[in-house]
Amino acid sequence: MVLEATMICVDNSEWTRNGDYSPNRFQAQQDAVSLICGSKTQANPENTVGILTMAGKGVRVLVTPTSDLGKILGCMHGLEIGGEMNMTSGIQVAQLALKHRQNKKQNQRIIVFAGSPVTYDKKVLEMIGKKLKKNSVSLDVISFGEDDNGKPEKLEALVNSVNTSDSSHIVHVPPGSNALSDVLLSTPIFTEDGEGGSGFAAAAAAASGGAGGYDFGVDPNLDPELALALRVSMEEERARQEAAAKKAAEDGSKQEKGPEQSSSSKDIPMTDASLSSTQEIDKGVEPMDEETALLQQAIAMSMSESQPGQSSGGMADNEMPDAITVDQDLAHALQMSVSNDNKKDLSADVNKVVGDQSFLSSVIASLPGVDPNDPSVKDLLASMEESKGKENDKKSEGDDGDKQ
Amino acid sequence: MSTAIHRNQVDLVNFIDFTEVECLNYVVGSHPLSNALKQVFRDDEDLYLQSDADEQLLMYIPFMQVVKLYSIVIFGSEEDGPRTVKLFVNKEHMGFSNVNDYPASASIDLSSENLKGEPIILKYVKFQNVRSLTIFIEDNQGGTEETKVQKIILNGTTVDTTNMKDLKKIEEH
């Protein structure tokens, strides 16, 4: 229920004779204007709508903002097509008409139909946009028909310079079998003002489309809840598909960086808490051989078992998806788990990992700040050697421990 | 200046009709006029009124009753605080396009002392019957695109209330 005064700028230039929108650009536009007027006046009883034409002998205000729908629709008849569209003066005249609206509490909005090419410089349009913004006027642009000379960019620049908190919109409508007004129904120009607008839009769609024209084959008048549910569902699905497409594109670009990104779906029973940090390692290690996979399991456990203070450094490092750094981090995490000698089951698990003596010694040698000849390290290695071959089912316990 | 606030004068913030207050060209959402005008918000350093498209700001401040305005204090920084400020009395629904159509009741060039809290004394005769005040900030100190206003204080007396108080005092005697 937005209280609004709207000025609609109609494009009646020679360009609108083209028949690429059915029945032709101008009549498609007229339909859309009638629809917008109906929607606006229904959204709030105090809303007013005015109409002006931008082409012809000059900008002509057909009707100043009024809530009388008959007056608005009546003035649309017998309009003559001719001349070139004068968009900048059209917008400025519209602003002037809005400024002198009777109810100053109404928000101001200008809706511009642009079917002909835009000859103005981008800077000029942005300047006008800023002026509208300064006077807190919102602007909707419906761009259809010609799109030469960077028209979409220019109009987008115009709308962007006006836009504050997403109140201004631009819609590009390509020519096609769909009526201009039908396309607009699902755009923010109709749906932004909440229930009232969209309800009207749904009703109008039902009325204009006929039985075959319903979305999903459901009459929104008969079962509005079902229709809404279907619509919401479709929007969600669209959002999901967009996200999936985006992700696929991102993955595609990442793949070039290194083979470690190739698998992201390897499943290891982990808790949610540790999942995010371990997944990175997960990806990194998978393509390597089996022993590193084992190592990686041990790290995952050590990270969740060790004290938060100890683990934080390791976790942060482990965020790096790079294969080389992951190796170092493995060692780092391993070191932490080894030094945490009161965790018996853990060392038993690590034991499996350190079965490969040569690998372990190379890992320890590569550790920063760890002397492989250090007696305590030697001690530990010896103790691991002893316990090697003990029970293996500790692993499952370790996994349980992760869940804490 | 101790003489800026006379004995009967009060901060008029309680007499502003906030439901009718309007502001043009502010950053919608984050920096509204209430940040500079409302009692608690205006004392918060982090809350300020900021211009959006360019450096100009236009505020319309109606009062709930007729007031006499004596002085105005505008707080701002030396870089982006307002400089040229024009005040209009009882002009409703002005826009940027017609700020030059009317003679301003006061046109003030703010100094850095003014922005730190020194009140601007207004011409006595021109602010006697004020129902609404329109403040037009034309430019700012640094010539930048953004003007920030930290705090606005309007000092004056309310015409009706003062009379009522006087009457009561007489009755008490």
**pLDDT computed for residue A164 by the predictor:** 83
Measure B21 CA to nearest chain A CA, in Å. Answer: 11
pTM above 0.80, yes or no: no
Task: Examine residue B163 and state whether it is found in any structural domain, yes or no.
Answer: no
Task: Examine residue A344 and state whether it is found in any structural domain, yes or no.
Answer: no
**pLDDT computed for residue A215 by the predictor:** 56
User: Please, is B150 exposed, middle or buried when counting C-beta atoms within 10 Å of its C-beta (0-12, 13-18, 19+)?
Assistant: buried
Which range of residues forms the domain containing residue A96? Answer: 4-106+115-145+153-193
Query: Per-residue confidence at A23, pLDDT binned at 50, 70, 90?
Result: confident
pLDDT, one tens digit per residue, over A263-292 is 444 444 444 444 444 444 444 444 456 677
- The helix or strand, by DSSP H or E, that contains position A377, with its residue range, turns out to be helix A375-387
Which of A346, A324, A321 has its CA nearest to residue A336? A346
Average of per-residue pLDDT across A227-250: 85
On whether any CB of chain B is under 8 Å from the CB of A131, the answer is yes
Alpha carbon separation from A171 to A133, A174, A269, A298, B99 (Å, rounded): 19, 10, 48, 55, 35
Interface test with A, best of B52, B58, B136 (most A CBs within 10 A): B52
Task: Examine residue B1 and state whether it is found in any structural domain, yes or no.
Answer: no
More confident residue, B172 or B47: B47
Task: Examine residue B5 and state whether it is found in any structural domain, yes or no.
Answer: no
pLDDT, one tens digit per residue, over A112-142 is 999 999 888 999 999 999 999 988 899 999 9
Task: Examine residue B80 and state whether it is found in any structural domain, yes or no.
Answer: yes
Sign of CA dihedral A49, A51, A54, A57: negative
On whether any CB of chain B is under 8 Å from the CB of A135, the answer is yes
Residues of A in contact with B97 (CB under 8 A): 99, 135
Task: Examine residue A240 and state whether it is found in any structural domain, yes or no.
Answer: no
Residue A40 near residue A64, CB atoms below 8 Å: no
Task: Examine residue A121 and state whether it is found in any structural domain, yes or no.
Answer: yes
Task: Examine residue A403 and state whether it is found in any structural domain, yes or no.
Answer: no
Q: What percent of chain A has pLDDT over 70?
A: 59
- Return the DSSP state at B125: G
pLDDT at A18 over 50: yes
Among B29, B54, B93, beta carbon nearest to A130: B54
Mean pLDDT of chain A: 74
Task: Examine residue B173 and state whether it is found in any structural domain, yes or no.
Answer: no
Domain count within chain B: 1
**pLDDT computed for residue A282 by the predictor:** 46
Cβ-defined contact of A99 to B29 (cutoff 8 Å): no
Among A135, A164, A165, beta carbon nearest to B96: A135
Task: Examine residue A14 and state whether it is found in any structural domain, yes or no.
Answer: yes
Write the CATH number for B45. Answer: 2.60.120.470
Average of per-residue pLDDT across B77-99: 90
Write the CATH number for A33. Answer: 3.40.50.410
Domain count within chain A: 1
Average of per-residue pLDDT across A333-355: 56
The encoded tokens of residue B71 equal 């002085």
Which range of residues forms the domain containing residue B69? Answer: 10-158
Interface test with B, best of A99, A134, A135, A158 (most B CBs within 10 A): A134
Separation of alpha carbons A384 and A18, rounded Å:
85
Nearest CA in chain A to B94: A99
Residues of B in contact with A164 (CB under 8 A): 27-29, 52
On whether any CB of chain A is under 8 Å from the CB of B56, the answer is yes
Task: Examine residue A80 and state whether it is found in any structural domain, yes or no.
Answer: yes
